Chains A and B, each alone.
Chain A
């Protein structure tokens, strides 16, 4: 199993999440993306490579420049992935809260 291609692993990193937010509105070149971070350019390139590898980002050639844009379909996959897990716990905890409030009022 190649972990680098695991979408979930890809979004676990805060810098990569920030990149996804950046390109969410419009396609950007690697240079334009890197300009938003204090991190060294090669580090940003590495993040872009990982995001591209797992198809969260798509590359598009426009003249001499390569633009990165978001792959909404893959993003949806993630939302479908971690959000249900969070929701599962959220529901459980909501239930816990509701149950315990009952005990609280009994006092």
Chain B
């Protein structure tokens, strides 16, 4: 079975590419990234600020199960509706550096669309560290989310 989400990480490169095809029209996919209430819903984060424009900035905050708050923020360098968002991303107080993200949105058919996330890190070590976060998260958080979604569908 073809995987819907793909991660491409080439050796010795500072970048990471995540692609995903959605059973959603481009318009809806883009809204999922730009409307604060919707971002909160699928990312499971609080949106403190989300300025969808060049020179704008964004700021999210999540609360872990232990009640600790974690800040995420960055600035928006380019914003073209239903086409692309270029922004920086930083996990505050995490020891991780800032990374540059190119989000490209593409229409496939009337009902399907594609997202390509191109992330650039300062060092190879940071890229490796970032991948390892997936490991820690993948185990805990994602499963919790999956369960919640499964419950939603049961209703």
Residues of chain A whose beta carbon lies under 8 Å from any beta carbon of chain B: 1, 3, 6, 8-10, 12-13, 80-101, 103-104
Question: A13 contacts which chain B residues (CB < 8 A)?
Answer: 10-11
Question: B64 contacts which chain A residues (CB < 8 A)?
Answer: none
* Residue B95 interfacial (CB < 8 Å): no
Distance in Å: Cβ of B64 to nearest Cβ of chain A: 15
A6-B128, A99-B42, A100-B31 are known contacts. Are A84 and B139 too (CB-CB below 8 A)? yes
Q: Would you call A86 and B134 a contact (CB within 8 A)? A: yes
Q: Would you call A92 and B42 a contact (CB within 8 A)? A: yes
Partner-binding segment picked from B18-26, B53-61, B75-83, B86-94? B18-26
Task: Identify which of A1, A85, A91 contacts B135 (C-beta below 8 A).
Answer: A85
Q: Would you call B24 and A100 a contact (CB within 8 A)? A: yes
Interface size counted on chain B using CB atoms at 8 A: 43
Task: Identify which of A82, A83, A97 contacts B22 (C-beta below 8 A).
Answer: A97
Contact with A along B35-58 (1 / 0, CB 8 A): 000100111100000000000000
Assembly CA distance A93 to B31 (angstroms): 13
Residues of chain B whose beta carbon lies under 8 Å from any beta carbon of chain A: 3-7, 9-13, 18, 20, 22-25, 28-29, 31-32, 38, 41-44, 115, 124-125, 128, 131-135, 137-139, 141-142, 145-146, 149, 152
Q: Which residue of B lies closest to A10 (CB)?
A: B11
Q: Which residue of A lies closest to B16 (CB)?
A: A85
Q: Would you call B149 and A103 a contact (CB within 8 A)? A: no
Assembly CA distance A94 to B115 (angstroms): 13
Assembly CA distance A85 to B7 (angstroms): 8
Q: Would you call B137 and A97 a contact (CB within 8 A)? A: no
Assembly CA distance A61 to B149 (angstroms): 52
Q: Would you call B145 and A103 a contact (CB within 8 A)? A: no
